């Protein structure tokens, strides 16, 4: 036995069964390692089992909560030894001789090798030409009316700001300002000055911006887009133009640098320069000549930074910057990752040596997925992004919709839809049906400055009916036959109401194709519905001239709030009171509940609607329960649309195989009862309408703020 082998502690009896001499092409197997107490005991001491030491270190680093219970690992054909979740694994350090891309790692140096980044870019451009090549342009031209009027870029070679020409190749930076406001920002007074060659030298730029400039040069590129220096910060028109086209800014970048580590703009890009990061890669020799280490997936690495240093994953603006890019170079605390729409590679694994092998191992976490240029299910895609976005932090709540404008714009173009206060107008009846599917997990509340009928008007609304809209044919049939309200909008500063959607809108945004969930407008019906004969004689168009005082109140409220109102006619009903959810949700002896009822200890989301004589008429999900405390009945519900059955829409395992109305709970604002606000979304059993308060269904004019 040589000296090196003598220094390696032997594997314990259990770990000897792992056959660690086989570093490649193993069969998928689950290995039971005993209890965690056993693993920790065998890892301790001078002669601790090397693999148990690796397991203990892996647990302490990533899953420190495992103290007791059974320990096991899984060898998977693609990825090596998995401990718990996808992306976290233990890999052989075998980068030179491996014959398989799976389960092998490489040593991470103290600073990033630019040639590795250039290798990734070249592999992507060669292998993913169709998938990862940005399409279209970011600048408005004579040939294309879509884009920004002016695109400013940093010329990293001449160290100044330039006005880009159409087709200019550039890199974008995604980072957080945090508490550090850049001392040098593009403003009206310094545009000319900063456009002078060498103007950015010695200006005291934040470390992250300086590092990004250096990186762009190191990888052989020239131009860089950074918000602080490429949007005129004190020019409202330029800022709004940039924000409203943020989808194009990141889509059209040839690469997005993601500064995922750090709490502010001075965190820099770890590893770019010598001494800028401490490598935390524990390498253990488990058998003579065979070394192993742990690796983790990109999103896990982004979220596991030390306290306060993972601001990128909690910041509202950065979500769209990540999911709209075609390629992203992600700097985390210990490692860099290259994530494109075709594959994922990392500094600590050798997957890039096998570029044709699709690697999903490093794509850990749901928050890293890119949006597709041809999303197969647009409404579920938006629901998924909204779910991730709502819990993120914005310095200014007034940026709630702005921070998602890129995603909204990207998806609305594909959906051939307009946007109104963050909702898709081409399927407006669907967009209005939104709610909080995880109540109780964070403080609720009304968000001022946005309408109550939009998700943006509430701090916790993150889901909706769009989440369930996968079947285009079924949902379009629902739009055509189960909806009835003729929606009008009132815009700030505009005297008369306008249709939310009509034939002109359809011509503007494009004729819907078979795959689109959208109204099919016609000259006879802007919403393309099969007309309900019973509604033909009801008034549907608002008329301010009929009631001067009413019109005056509406104008006063709009001046005060400065956002869009909805104005429409609909059926409403009155419910005497609510009842907090109990375990028993039986509506009657013959009620068919499709799924199991929630247990007594589970979170309740749906409050019962109680009709005359105590009959259960349906349920409602409050937008903010505190706003309903002590509010006397009766309560008014707007009948929005119909559904043949109630599925588990509110994520509470309650379904009813009986027809329902979608309803909106409203609360009138002020004694005149001219303007109302939304207070919740729910359902009313269609066969229980007779149990609402008299006079039953009433056709009513509603202005919704």
Reported as a single tens digit per residue, the pLDDT across 233-243 is 999 999 999 99
Q: How many Å apart are CA 687 and CA 604, to the nearest integer?
A: 24
Percent of all residues in the chain with a pLDDT value above 90, rounded to a whole number:
70
Mean pLDDT confidence for 619-631: 91
Helix (H, G, I), strand (E, B) or coil at 663: strand
Taking residues 386-390, what's their average pLDDT? 94
More confident residue, 1 or 680: 680
Mean pLDDT of 424-442: 90
Residues with Cβ within 8 Å of residue 414, at least 6 apart in sequence: 373, 374, 375, 378
Distance CA 542, CA 144 (A): 37
Residue 666 is given by DSSP the state E
Question: What values do phi and psi take at 347, rounded to 5?
Answer: -70, -30
DSSP string for 93-137: E-TTT-SSSTTEE-PPPSS--HHHHHHHHHHHHHH-HHHHS--S-
Cα gap 108→364, rounded to integer Å: 20
87 in Cβ contact with 299 (< 8 Å)? yes
| pLDDT (mean) for 505-513 | 96
| 426 Rama class: left (phi>0) / alpha (psi -120 to 50) / beta | alpha
Backbone angles phi, psi at 636, to 5 degrees: -105, 135
Over residues 195-200, the mean pLDDT reads: 97
Task: Give the HSE-up count for residue 572: Cα atoms under 13 Å, Cβ half-sphere.
Answer: 18
Instruction: Sort 535 into a burial class: Cβ within 10 Å, 0-12 / 13-18 / 19+.
Output: middle
Q: Which are the contacts of 157, defined by CB distance < 8 A and separation ≥ 6?
A: 217, 222
Neighbours of 111 (CB within 10 A): 15
Render 280-329 in DSSP notation, one character per residue.
----EEEETTEEEEEE--HHHHHH-SSTT-BGGGTBHHHHHHHHS-SEEE
**Nearest-5° angle of CA 465, CA 620, CA 596?**
75
Select the highest-mean-pLDDT range: 22-26, 221-225, 549-553, 602-606. Answer: 221-225
Number of other residues whose CB lies within 10 A of the CB of residue 633: 12
Cα torsion through 170, 171, 175, 179, rounded to 10 = -50
> pLDDT-derived band of residue 86, with 50, 70 and 90 as boundaries?
low
Does the pLDDT of residue 454 top 90, yes or no?
yes
CA 480 to chain centre: 29
What number is the average pLDDT over the span 381-408? Answer: 95
Neighbours of 460 (CB within 10 A): 22
pLDDT for position 548: 82
Whether 177 contacts 265, CB under 8 Å: yes
Q: Give yes or no for residue 523 having a pLDDT over 80.
A: yes
Round to whole Å and give the CA distance between 107 and 68.
Answer: 32
* pLDDT interval class at 440 (50, 70, 90): low
With both helix axes pointing from N to C terminus, report the angle between 378-390 and 405-415 in degrees, rounded to the nearest 10.
170
DSSP assignment of 511-541: ---TT-------SS-TT-----GGGTTS--S
CA 288-37-362 angle, 5° bins:
60
| In the predicted structure, residue 623 carries a pLDDT above the cut 50 | yes
Tell me what pLDDT residue 88 has. Answer: 79
Q: What percent of the chain has pLDDT over 70?
A: 92
Instruction: Find the range with the poorest average confidence among 25-34, 89-98, 165-174.
Output: 89-98
Q: Are 22 and 81 in contact (CB under 8 A)?
A: no
**163 pLDDT above the threshold of 60:** yes
Site of tokens 């401490």: 278
Rounded average pLDDT over 27-55 = 91
Question: What's the pLDDT tens digit per position in 99-125?
Answer: 777 778 999 999 999 999 999 999 999
pLDDT of residue 60: 80
Tens of pLDDT along 574-622? 999 998 764 455 555 434 433 333 333 345 568 999 999 899 999 999 9
- End-to-end alpha-carbon separation of the chain, Å? 81
Task: Give whole-number Cα distances, 112 to 118, 174, 215, 274, 528, in Å.
Answer: 11, 19, 10, 8, 57
Map residue 290 onto helix, strand or coil: strand
Torsion of CA 599, 600, 603, 605, to 10 degrees: 90
Residues 6+ apart with CB under 8 A from 8: 50, 285, 286, 287, 288
- What's the pLDDT score for residue 648? 85
- From the list 508, 506, 531, the residue with the least C-alpha distance to 520 is 506
Residue 596: the pLDDT is 34
- Give the whole-angstrom CA distance, residue 446 versus residue 300: 32
Other C-beta atoms within 10 Å of 64: how many? 8
pLDDT of residue 122: 98
Closest alpha carbon to 26 in 81, 90, 85: 81
pLDDT in tens, 323-373: 999 999 999 999 999 999 999 999 999 999 999 888 776 766 545 688 999
Check residue 308 and give its pLDDT.
65
Q: Which of 27-41, 135-149, 305-319 has the lowest mean pLDDT?
A: 305-319
* Lookup: tokens for 419: 């946007």
The per-residue pLDDT for 588 is 56
Q: Is the pLDDT confidence value at 520 over 50? A: yes
Closest CA to 501 of 432, 444, 576: 432
C-alpha 427, offset from chain centre: 20
Arithmetic mean of pLDDT, 669-697: 95
pLDDT tens track for 642-655: 999 998 898 877 78
* Whether the Cβ atoms of residue 103 and residue 92 lie closer than 8 Å to each other: yes
The DSSP output letter for 467 is G
Parallel, antiparallel or unpaired: strands 223-225 and 290-295: unpaired
| pLDDT recorded at residue 249 | 97
- 280 pLDDT band, cuts 50/70/90, is confident
| Weakest mean pLDDT among 36-45, 108-117, 211-220 | 36-45
């Amino acid at each position: 036995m040589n000296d090196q082998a003598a220094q390696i502690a032997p594997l314990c009896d259990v770990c000897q069964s792992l056959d660690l001499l086989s570093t490649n092409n193993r069969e998928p197997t689950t290995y039971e390692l005993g209890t965690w107490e056993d693993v920790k005991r065998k890892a301790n001491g001078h002669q601790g089992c090397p693999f148990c030491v690796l397991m203990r270190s892996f647990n302490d680093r990533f899953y420190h909560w495992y103290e007791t219970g059974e320990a096991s690992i899984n060898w998977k054909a693609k990825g090596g030894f998995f401990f718990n979740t996808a992306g976290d694994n233990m890999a052989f350090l075998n980068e030179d001789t491996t014959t398989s891309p799976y389960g092998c790692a490489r040593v991470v140096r103290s600073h990033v090798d630019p040639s590795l980044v250039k290798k990734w870019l070249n592999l992507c451009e060669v292998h993913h030409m169709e998938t990862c090549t940005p399409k279209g342009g970011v600048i408005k031209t004579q040939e294309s009316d879509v884009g920004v009027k002016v695109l400013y870029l940093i010329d990293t070679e001449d160290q100044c700001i330039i006005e880009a020409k159409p087709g200019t190749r550039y890199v974008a930076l995604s980072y957080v300002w945090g508490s550090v406001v850049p001392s040098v920002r593009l403003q009206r007074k310094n545009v000319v000055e900063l456009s002078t060659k060498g103007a950015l030298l010695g200006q005291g730029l934040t470390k992250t911006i300086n590092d990004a400039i250096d990186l762009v040069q190191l990888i052989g590129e020239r131009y860089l887009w950074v918000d602080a220096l490429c949007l005129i910060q004190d020019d409202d028109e330029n800022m709004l133009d940039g924000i409203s086209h943020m989808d194009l800014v990141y889509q059209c970048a040839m690469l997005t640098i993601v500064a995922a580590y750090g709490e502010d703009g001075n965190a820099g890009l770890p590893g770019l320069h010598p001494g800028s990061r401490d490598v935390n890669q524990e390498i253990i020799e488990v058998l003579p000549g065979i070394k192993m280490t742990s690796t983790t997936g990109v999103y896990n690495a982004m979220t596991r930074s030390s306290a306060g240093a993972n601001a990128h994953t909690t910041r509202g603006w950065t979500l769209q910057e990540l999911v709209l890019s075609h390629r992203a170079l992600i700097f985390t605390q210990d490692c860099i990752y290259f994530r494109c729409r075709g594959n994922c590679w990392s500094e600590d694994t050798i997957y890039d040596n096998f570029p044709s092998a699709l690697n999903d191992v490093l794509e850990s976490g749901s928050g890293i997925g890119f949006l597709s240029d041809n999303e197969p299910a647009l409404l579920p895609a938006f629901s998924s992004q909204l779910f991730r976005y709502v819990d993120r932090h914005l310095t200014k709540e007034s940026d709630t919709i702005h921070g998602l404008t890129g995603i909204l714009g990207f998806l609305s173009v594909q959906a051939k839809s307009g946007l109104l206060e963050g909702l898709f107008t081409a399927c407006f009846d669907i967009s209005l049906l939104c709610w909080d599917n995880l109540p109780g997990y964070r403080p609720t509340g009304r968000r001022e400055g946005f309408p109550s009928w939009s998700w943006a008007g509430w701090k916790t609304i993150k889901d909706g009916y769009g989440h369930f809209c996968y079947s285009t044919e079924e949902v379009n049939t629902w739009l055509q036959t189960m909806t009835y309200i003729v929606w009008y909008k009132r815009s700030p500063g505009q005297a008369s109401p306008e249709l939310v959607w009509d034939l002109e809108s359809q011509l503007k945004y494009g004729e819907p194709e078979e795959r689109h969930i959208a109204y099919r407008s016609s000259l006879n019906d802007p919403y393309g519905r099969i007309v309900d004969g019973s509604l033909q004689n009801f008034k549907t168009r608002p008329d301010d001239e009929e009631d001067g005082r009413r019109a005056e109140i509406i104008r006063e409220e709009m001046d005060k709030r400065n956002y869009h109102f909805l104005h429409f006619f609909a059926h409403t009903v009155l419910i005497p009171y609510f009842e907090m959810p109990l375990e028993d949700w039986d509506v009657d002896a013959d009620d068919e509940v499709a799924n199991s009822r929630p247990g007594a200890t589970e979170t309740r989301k749906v409050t019962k609607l109680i009709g005359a004589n105590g009959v259960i008429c349906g349920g409602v999900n409050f937008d903010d329960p505190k706003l309903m405390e002590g509010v006397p009945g009766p309560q008014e519900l707007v009948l929005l649309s119909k559904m043949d059955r109630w599925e588990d829409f509110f994520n509470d395992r309650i379904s009813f195989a009986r027809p329902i109305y979608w309803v909106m709970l409203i609360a009138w604002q002020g004694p005149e009862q001219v303007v109302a606000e939304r207070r919740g979304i729910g359902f009313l059993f269609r066969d229980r309408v007779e149990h609402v308060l008299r006079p039953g269904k009433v056709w009513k004019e509603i202005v919704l703020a």
